[in-house]
């Protein structure tokens, strides 16, 4: 357990970790020992590393508590406009190191644990990831929470506390095997249950027409129990709240059975209701119309809106005894941001509350609803768009279906008024799709019910305007906006890459941590020999550390002086991991054809989870592993080429891999990847990108200049032209011998000798049904990879471009993204002011209970 000697020297260096204050170190040690004794009930003879992790987590949590309470009191006193981020996913990863960094106590904790003879990095590695997300969408929500707290916004993340997050991926015999993610098994030190604030949520039932209006009756109730999680801003004493709901059966659940005498069965059946928050659906960019998923979506939205309205009514300026009943000011006090259509039921639910419960007129309620809500679109892939059958909605949420029909009625009236007689337009713009099974188009509902609709990168925002939402843009052009995604520089540089963070801080100080634009100050250093060397040293350190980790965890040996060529993201046909695989096979064939020729050594690493029901994605994993087995065991290949499948890609693995990358693969078909955020993480960590003109890659190129990125393949216009002309994979197969060789090898069983037909489905897709035109980009991809090799042979030129990447990544801070959401959608200004620290006096001394 003792920390190795070499780390002492590192810790003593002046670094972005700061200098440990003696009094803080003493306090941390005292608090740590107290928690080990009183919270963990262990002494140092019995304590396990996990006990030490929990003692440390509780110690750090203590530093959050006063700031958390005082931040919420401050919001109560000042009553600023609240921002509510509604998301079915929060891909948070670990909290311990991030909390230490944002509170500014990392160096004190390092020193204290060192003095206690404990290895803090080992303890950090024992924390389970909070894997409550699938990929980019969920990680975006997590980055946004960090930025909203850092920008001092009165913001809340609302979501579901899944008992099981994204499954753990095992690779067994070259195949994905899923294991449930029992992340709460040892307890979660970062959450505070609030059983006293449970909220009822209704399902099923029927609608009654009464003289006072519609009433939703005979419903079944499930309770939503809130769990609050602290979200610390970076060194500003702000701690916001992420409130996650967990399903609880009411005590009288299935009383019917109880009265029939089957008490045991009544208790057992409580599980049914509590299944709502049991497990995250593991689909990324795919709509699976399951009833339980609809229940999750409504459960989250219904509990959240009740909570928001309670807080609105109880707010100070509504005055204590006279609760606020006037909803006119609601849009001035509340902003709701819908992360994709997953929380789209917020729109009919808010209408139901305002009309059926609060008694507002439809027109007034609708005005409030539209002014309050805003919707972020994340994809244009048709298979990802939520379209719930009306039959399912009618069964589970009968009143909401009526309200949706009513919204549609008024909406189509407007359409007809504007375009009289244009029945085709009315059909296209309807919230109700009538062809085949009758369905509600949830994106249409969101557009109609929101005052702002945004895409997540410039090209994506243009595509939604001129393609999938064209009719809506013609009707309300003022609604459509762009908000290019971003990532938090705290987690994605300061935390995950201290070596590079130190090299940067030595030259330009630390302001970049909260003003990432400051990185442009590195541009004059792109040709500075000393700085190039320092950046190279940091990268090499990160590569060696990853190589050591890979050998330790998986027994794979990689050469740390080879180029680390990395593609990590969910496995999806549109992301084109198969194109990467064709490049690997091409390199292999070239080595075999000419073993003596010079070759730039590469380690290609591919990682990512496939949705368990996505057959083609699972086949892609099998093929990559099969190719890897042949390549890695061929003595002729030797050290020139290695293929590694990175098991169980998740936030924590991303933090270890990305700082070690030389080359980042961002190779989706132009027009399919809405933004990407993985691309930004690599750029910030000094990897060069090989990519298509898709998503945020385009804006990355604009920021750094096209000489600093490897761009290949069709533009979105060329893809559209190819679709019009008709794509024929055989044209490319016949014309390109290297491509033909790859495909022939895959289809003849070269990589699967014991089962030659193993990959015939994949070959069939590529040759006959390829929606993503891999062969059309093959030639330009291979040529581009050749130019990558050429540059890699000149390390200083390579690193110079890497520095230009780092120096140009300021735009991709989620702080910039959130400031734009604040100013252009929410009507909330960022504030860089600090709240007073817990030991500092405040202007108003309050101990009011209402600040919850
Ligand atoms: C950033 C991130 C993603 C998103 O990656 P893309 O390449 O943008 O799809 C997915 N998963 C994890 C764990 C991430 O950290």
Q: How many whole angstroms from 13 Cα to the centroid of ligand 1?
A: 33
Cβ within 8 Å of residue 496, ≥6 positions away: 654, 655, 656, 658, 659, 685
Residues 815-831: tens digit of each pLDDT: 999 999 999 999 999 99
Q: Ligand 1 centre and the CA of 654: distance in Å?
A: 8
* Token pair for 491: 């987690």
Burial bucket for residue 257 (CB in 10 Å: 0-12, 13-18, 19+):
middle
**pLDDT at residue 251, rounded to an integer:** 80
Cα separation, 688 vs 515, in Å, equals 23
Residue showing tokens 């969920």: 138
Q: Tokens for 364?
A: 């007034």
Check pocket membership of 498 for ligand 1, CB cut-off 6 A.
no
Lowest mean per-residue pLDDT among 262-271, 437-446, 675-684, 841-850: 841-850
Ligand 1 contact, 133 CB (< 6 A): no
Q: How confident is the model over 139-154, as a mean pLDDT?
A: 98
CB 696 within 8 A of CB 676: yes
**What percentage of the chain exceeds 90 in pLDDT?**
91
Ligand 1 centroid distance, CA of 139 (Å): 7
Q: Which atom of ligand 1 is nearest to the CA of 649?
A: 13
Going by pLDDT thresholds of 50, 70 and 90, the confidence category of residue 840 is: confident
Cα 307 to Cα 75, 325, 334, distances in angstroms: 16, 15, 12
Determine whether the shortest distance from the Cβ of 136 to ligand 1 is under 6 A.
Answer: yes
Q: Which residues pair with 209 in a beta bridge?
A: 214
pLDDT tens per residue across span 534-559: 999 999 999 999 999 999 988 889 99
Asked if residues 84 and 158 have their Cβ atoms less than 8 Å apart, the reply is yes
Nearest-angstrom CA–CA distance, 844 and 852 = 17
- Of the pLDDT bands very low, low, confident and very high (cuts 50, 70, 90), residue 126 is very high
> Is 651 touching ligand 1 by the criterion CB < 6 Å?
yes
Rounded to the nearest whole angstrom, what is the distance from the C-alpha of residue 652 to the centroid of ligand 1? 11
Please indicate whether residue 650, judged by its CB atom, sits closer than 6 Å to ligand 1: yes
Q: Indicate if the pLDDT at residue 846 is higher than 50.
A: no
Of the candidates 523, 548, 809, the one whose C-alpha atom is nearest the C-alpha of residue 660 is 548
**What confidence tens digit (pLDDT) does each residue in 112-123 have?**
999 999 999 999
Q: How many Å lie between the centroid of ligand 1 and the Cα of residue 161?
A: 21
Task: Assess whether the C-beta atom of 135 lies below 6 angstroms from ligand 1.
Answer: yes
Residue pair 610/620 in contact by the 8 Å Cβ criterion: yes
| Topology given in CATH for the domain delimited by 501-808 | Rossmann fold (3.40.50)
The residue among 345, 244, 254 whose CA lies nearest residue 293 is: 345
Give the tens place of pLDDT for each residue, 455-486.
999 999 999 999 999 999 999 999 999 999 99
Which one of 133, 136, 697 would you pick to mutate in the ligand 1 pocket, going by the greatest count of ligand atoms within 8 A of its CB? 136
What mean pLDDT do residues 72-95 have? 98
Average pLDDT, integer, range 233-250: 98
At residue 271, the pLDDT reads 85
Expressed in angstroms, the distance from the first to the final Cα of the chain is 41
Q: Is 86 in the pocket of ligand 1 (CB under 6 A)?
A: no
Interatomic CA distance for residues 469 and 375, integer angstroms: 13
Whether pLDDT at 784 is above 90: yes
| Atom nearest to 695 CA in ligand 1 | 8
Question: Residue 138: pLDDT above 60?
Answer: yes
Looking at every residue in the chain, the average pLDDT score rounds to: 95
Where in the sequence numbering do the catalytic residues fall?
378, 569-570, 575, 677, 681
> Distance of CA 422 to CAs 83, 413, 415, 596, Å?
39, 12, 9, 69
Q: What is the mean pLDDT of residues 736-743?
A: 98
Question: Which residue among 678, 680, 696 has the greatest number of ligand 1 atoms within 8 angstroms of its CB, and so is best to mutate?
Answer: 678
Nearest residue to 396 via CA among 199, 158, 207, 161? 207
Residue nearest to atom 5 of ligand 1 (CA): 678
User: Closest ligand 1 atom to the C-alpha of 666?
Assistant: 7
Nearest to 827, CA basis, from 294, 80, 193: 80
| 8 confidence band (pLDDT: 50, 70, 90) | very low
736: nearest Cα among 709, 756, 772, 766? 766
> In the structure encoding, which two tokens stand for residue 270, read together?
């409580």
CA–centroid distance, residue 844 to ligand 1 (Å): 43
Reference 457, options 826, 819, 817, 720; nearest CA is 817
d(CA 23, CA 224): 43
**Residues contacting residue 406 through CB under 8 Å, at least 6 positions apart:** 362
Dihedral, CA of residue 740, residue 741, residue 744 and residue 745, to nearest 10: -150
* Beta carbons of 223 and 250 less than 8 angstroms apart: yes
How far is residue 144's CA from residue 491's CA, in Å, rounded to a whole number? 12
- Does the CA dihedral 187-190-196-201 come out positive or negative? negative
pLDDT digits (tens, 9 = 90+) for 310-323: 999 998 765 555 55
Counting ligand 1 atoms within 8 A of each CB, the residue from 485, 570, 817 with the most, and so the one to mutate, is 570
Nearest CA, atom 11, ligand 1: 135
Q: List CB contacts of 838: < 8 A, sequence separation 6 or more.
A: 66, 67, 70, 237
Q: Please indicate whether residue 322 or residue 251 has the higher confidence score (pLDDT).
A: 251
- List the domain boundaries for the chain: 79-94+129-485, 501-808
Would you state the pLDDT for residue 849?
A: 45
The reported pLDDT for the residue numbered 454 is 98
Please give the helix or strand (H or E) that residue 157 lies within, else none: strand 155-160
Atom of ligand 1 nearest to the CA of 136: 4
Using a 6 Å cutoff on CB, does residue 677 contact ligand 1? yes
Half-sphere exposure of 712 (CA within 13 A, CB side): 24
With a 6 Å cutoff on the Cβ, whether 139 touches ligand 1 is yes
pLDDT at 852 over 80: no
Name residues whose C-beta falls within 8 Å of residue 723's C-beta, 6 or more positions apart in sequence: none
Ligand 1 centroid to Cα of residue 85, in Å, is 20
To test the ligand 1 pocket, which listed residue (139, 656, 661) has its Cβ within 8 A of the most ligand atoms? 139
Please work out whether the CB of residue 691 comes within 6 Å of at least one atom of ligand 1.
no
Q: What is the C-alpha separation between 143 and 157, in angstroms, rounded?
A: 11
Look at residue 1 in the predicted model and tell me its pLDDT.
36
The residue-averaged pLDDT of 394-422 equals 98
Element (H, E) at 690: strand 688-691
In degrees rounded to 5, what are phi and psi of residue 616? -60, -40
The atom of ligand 1 lying closest to the CA of 608 is 11
Pure H helices in 572-650: 577-593, 615-632
Among candidate residues 689, 608, 688, 592, the one with its CA nearest the CA of residue 641: 592
Fold of 79-94+129-485: Rossmann fold (3.40.50)
Give the Cα separation of 70 and 27 in Å (integer). 21
C-alpha distances in angstroms, 635 versus 194, 317, 639, 746, 770? Answer: 61, 76, 9, 21, 34
* Spatial distance between the Cα atoms of 329 and 318, rounded to a whole number of angstroms: 10
Inter-residue contact 60 to 105 (CB < 8 Å):
yes
H helical segments located in 419-513: 423-429, 442-449, 458-466, 470-475, 489, 498-508
**pLDDT band at residue 19 using 50, 70 and 90 as cut-offs:** confident
* Average pLDDT of span 105-115: 97
Q: Determine the pLDDT at residue 522.
A: 98
Q: CA dist 315 to 49, 83, 195, 357, Å? A: 45, 15, 21, 20
CA of 568 to the centre of ligand 1 (A): 7
Identical fold between 79-94+129-485 and 501-808: yes
- Cα–ligand 1 centroid distance for 407 (angstroms): 36
> Nearest residue CA, atom 7 of ligand 1?
678
Read out DSSP for 756-787? TTTTHHHHHHHHH--TT-HHHHHHHHHHHHHH
What local confidence, expressed as pLDDT, does residue 254 receive? 65
Query: What whole-number distance in Å separates Cα of residue 467 and Cα of residue 460?
Result: 10
Section 391-404 average pLDDT: 98
Q: Are 772 and 657 in contact (CB under 8 A)?
A: no
H, E, C per residue of 504-528: HHHHHCCHHHCCHHHHHHHHHHCCC
Q: Separation of 140 CA from ligand 1 center, angstroms?
A: 9
C-alpha 67 – ligand 1 centre gap (Å)? 31
**Measured CA distances, 133 to 79, 301, 491 (Å):** 31, 17, 17
**pLDDT above 70: residue 737:** yes
Could you tell me which residue, 271 or 259, shows the higher pLDDT? 271
> Would you state the pLDDT for residue 843?
62
User: Ligand 1: which atom is nearest the Cα of residue 680?
Assistant: 8
- Cα dihedral 704/707/708/711 (nearest 10): 100
* pLDDT for the residue 260: 67
Confidence band for 328, pLDDT divided at 50, 70 and 90: very high
Res. 809: pLDDT tops 50: yes
Other Cβ atoms less than 10 A from the Cβ of 740: the count is: 13
Sign of CA dihedral 76, 77, 81, 83: negative
**Bridge partner list, 618:** none
Residue nearest to atom 1 of ligand 1 (CA): 678
DSSP secondary structure string for all residues of 527-584: T-HHHHHHHHHHHHHHHHHHHHHHHHHH-----TTSEEEEEES---GGGTHHHHHHHH
Q: Whose CA is nearest to atom 9 of ligand 1?
A: 569
Q: Alpha-carbon distance 621 to 210, whole Å?
A: 58
Helix, strand, coil percent content, the chain, rounded in steps of 5: 50, 15, 35
């Amino acid at each position: 357990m003792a920390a190795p000697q070499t780390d002492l020297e590192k810790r003593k260096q002046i670094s972005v970790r700061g200098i440990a204050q003696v009094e803080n170190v003493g306090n941390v040690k005292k608090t740590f020992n107290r928690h080990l004794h009183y919270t963990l009930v262990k002494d140092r003879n019995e304590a396990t590393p996990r006990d030490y992790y929990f003692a440390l987590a509780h110690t750090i949590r203590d530093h959050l508590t006063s700031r958390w309470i005082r931040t919420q009191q401050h919001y109560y006193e000042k009553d600023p406009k609240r921002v509510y981020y509604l998301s079915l996913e929060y891909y948070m990863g670990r909290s311990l190191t991030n909390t230490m960094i944002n509170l500014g106590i990392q160096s004190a904790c390092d020193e204290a644990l060192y003095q206690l003879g404990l290895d803090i990095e080992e303890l950090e590695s024992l924390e389970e990831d909070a894997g409550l997300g699938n990929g980019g969408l969920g990680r975006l929500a997590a980055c946004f929470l960090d930025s909203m707290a850092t920008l001092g916004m009165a913001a809340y993340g609302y979501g579901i506390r899944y008992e099981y997050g994204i499954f753990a991926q095992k690779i067994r015999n070259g195949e994905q095997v899923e294991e449930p993610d029992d992340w709460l098994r040892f307890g979660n030190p970062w959450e505070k249950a609030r059983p006293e604030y449970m909220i009822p949520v209704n399902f099923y039932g029927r609608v009654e027409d009464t003289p006072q209006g519609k009433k939703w009756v005979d419903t079944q109730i499930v309770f939503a129990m809130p769990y609050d999680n602290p979200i610390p801003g970076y060194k500003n004493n702000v701690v916001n709240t992420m409130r996650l709901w967990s399903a609880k059966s009411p005590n009288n659940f299935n009383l019917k059975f109880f009265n029939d005498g089957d008490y045991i069965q009544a208790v057992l059946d409580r599980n049914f209701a509590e299944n709502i928050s049991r497990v995250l659906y593991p689909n990324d960019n795919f709509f699976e119309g399951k009833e339980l998923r609809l229940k999750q979506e409504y459960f989250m939205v219904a509990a959240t809106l009740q909570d928001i309205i309670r807080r609105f009514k109880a707010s100070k300026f509504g005055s204590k005894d006279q609760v606020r009943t006037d909803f006119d000011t609601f849009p001035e006090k509340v902003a709701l941001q819908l992360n994709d259509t997953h929380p789209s039921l917020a729109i009919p639910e808010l209408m139901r509350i305002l009309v059926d419960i609060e008694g507002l007129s439809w027109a007034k309620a609708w005005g409030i609803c539209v002014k309050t809500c805003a919707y972020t679109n994340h994809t244009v892939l048709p298979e990802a768009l939520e379209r719930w059958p009306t039959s399912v909605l009618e069964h589970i949420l009968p009143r909401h279906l009526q309200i949706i029909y009513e919204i549609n009625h008024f909406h189509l009236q407007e359409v007809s008024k504007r375009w009289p007689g244009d029945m085709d337009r009315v059909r296209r713009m309807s919230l109700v799709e009538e062809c085949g099974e009758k369905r509600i188009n949830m994106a249409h509902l969101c557009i109609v019910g929101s005052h702002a609709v945004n895409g997540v990168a410039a090209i994506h925002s243009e595509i939604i305007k001129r393609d999938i939402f064209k009719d809506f843009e013609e009707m309300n052009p003022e609604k459509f906006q762009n908000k290019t995604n971003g990532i938090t520089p705290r987690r994605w540089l300061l935390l995950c890459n201290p070596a590079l963070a130190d090299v940067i801080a030595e030259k330009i100080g630390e302001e970049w941590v909260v003003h990432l634009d400051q990185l442009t100050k590195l541009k004059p250093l792109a040709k500075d020999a000393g700085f190039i060397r320092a950046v190279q040293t940091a990268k090499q350190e990160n590569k060696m550390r990853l190589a050591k980790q890979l050998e330790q965890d998986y027994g794979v040996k990689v050469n740390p002086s080879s180029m680390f060529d990395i593609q990590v993201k969910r496995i999806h046909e549109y992301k084109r991991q198969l194109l990467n695989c064709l490049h690997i096979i091409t390199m292999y064939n070239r080595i075999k054809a000419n073993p003596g020729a010079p070759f730039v050594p590469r380690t290609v690493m591919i990682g990512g989870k496939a949705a368990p029901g996505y057959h083609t994605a699972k086949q892609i994993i099998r093929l990559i592993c099969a190719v890897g087995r042949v390549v890695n065991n061929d003595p002729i290949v030797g050290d020139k080429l290695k293929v590694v499948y990175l098991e169980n890609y998740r936030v924590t693995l991303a933090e270890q891999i990305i700082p070690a990358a030389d080359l980042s693969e961002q190779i989706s078909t132009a027009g399919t990847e809405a933004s990407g955020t993985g691309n930004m993480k690599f750029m910030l960590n000094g990897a060069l990108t090989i990519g298509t003109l898709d998503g945020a890659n385009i804006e990355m190129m604009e920021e750094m200049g096209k000489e600093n990125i490897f761009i290949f393949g069709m533009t979105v216009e060329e893809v559209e032209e190819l679709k019009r002309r008709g794509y024929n994979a055989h044209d490319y197969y016949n014309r390109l011998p290297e491509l033909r060789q790859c495909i022939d090898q895959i289809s003849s069983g070269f990589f699967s000798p014991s089962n030659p037909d193993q990959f015939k489905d994949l070959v069939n897709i590529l040759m006959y049904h390829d929606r993503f035109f891999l062969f059309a980009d093959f030639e330009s991809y291979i040529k581009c990879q050749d130019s990558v090799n050429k540059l890699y042979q000149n390390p200083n030129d390579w690193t110079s471009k890497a520095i230009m990447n780092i120096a140009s990544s300021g735009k991709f801070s989620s702080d910039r993204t959130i400031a734009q959401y604040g100013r252009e959608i929410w009507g909330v200004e960022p504030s860089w002011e600090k709240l007073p620290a817990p030991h500092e006096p405040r202007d108003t001394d309050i101990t009011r209970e209402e600040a919850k």
